[in-house]
Structure 1
């Protein structure tokens, strides 16, 4: 059974653009690689103008160099609005080297006028 990392990310308009996350939680499988830096996706201008909020679930791998590979959008509501912003940000994420992982999952929630939060569970 592959290890799965579950995170929720709320994307709003006014916060910092990177975060370091702890990885040890007793209620989920141990993840051997650790996120060193994650860049938040930008809230797309088109979505701001249209007052659109959304939720995107993404599966991805971390390679031996600590870079994100194989970004796969599992679900996007609404479709076609937030995906490119997420891919662009995730390509800049950095994990520990020599600790590859497969099929990690993260959920991004884009909310107007809210704070961006990463939370593991």
Structure 2
């Protein structure tokens, strides 16, 4: 019985396959027909359309971009700073020499001295006194001629005020001819010329007295006059 059933199934199976194949072929045929009709319709529609002219615009050739020339801006030259102003050198006015109103002090020296030989005229050159004989008694020489002297400086106060005067100084002539212990014994006007005379006369030199061939000290007076040229 089973075998009979199988045979029935096999006989029924074959026609169903054929039916399916026929249906499939019909479907394909319909599909092809549909595609062909659609293509024909599309061609008709395209023929009715006005052709669209495409105008192609010619693009201008791109001009090369001009490079912007960048001018190199040179910095302005640095101005040299002006030289510093020259400092005006202070002009020191040289003191104008005062008109030589000053005359060397007049040193009053007589031409002959008591108890001494004649000395001759006084000159700038030193005069050497001749040795004297032994005196009978000590004496003071007045206005002895020095072998070296410097002029006293005229005091500025007296020069400005036009003051004249005279100073008498006493001192000791040492055995070496130098001046020792100068002392003002008279001055007119007082104390105006004293300092100048003492400072100068302390540097004077004399010839000492000679006794038995040996130098001895002696006292002396000297008058110093201060006069202005008129």
TM-score range, shorter chain: 0.5 to 0.7
1:78 deviation in Å? Answer: 0.8
Unaligned runs of 5+ in 2: 1-100, 117-128, 132-143, 209-213
Tell me: CA distance 1:50–1:35, structure 2 relative to 1, closer, same or farther (3 Å): same
Query: Would you say 1:29 and 2:145 are equivalent positions?
Result: no
The number of residue pairs the alignment matches comes to: 97
SS in 2 for 1:99: strand
TM-score by length of 1: 0.65
For the 8 Å contact 1:61–1:100, the answer to whether it is kept is: no
**1:103 maps to which residue?**
219
Unaligned runs of 5+ in 1: 1-11, 18-22, 115-121
TM-score by length of 2: 0.37
Match of 2:229 among 89, 101, 113: 113
Tell me: CA distance 1:47–1:100, structure 2 relative to 1, closer, same or farther (3 Å): farther
Tell me: CA distance 1:34–1:79, structure 2 relative to 1, closer, same or farther (3 Å): closer
Query: Would you say 1:76 and 2:198 are equivalent positions?
Result: no
**1:118 maps to which residue?**
none
1:74 deviation in Å? Answer: 0.8
Q: Which moved more, 1:67-76 or 1:33-42?
A: 33-42
**1:13 maps to which residue?**
102
1:34 deviation in Å? Answer: 6.1
1:24 deviation in Å? Answer: 7.8
**2:153 maps to which residue?**
42
Q: Identify the structure with the greater helix proportion.
A: 2
Match of 2:175 among 29, 47, 64: 64
The RMSD of aligned alpha carbons is 3.0
* CA-to-aligned-CA distance 1:7-31 (integer Å, 9 cap, x gap): xxxxx7245x9xxxxx983x52227
* CA-to-aligned-CA distance 1:38-87 (integer Å, 9 cap, x gap): 11211111110111111111111111111101111111111111011101
Q: Tell me the distance in 1 between the aligned counterparts of 2:146 and 2:159.
A: 29
For the 8 Å contact 1:66–1:100, the answer to whether it is kept is: no
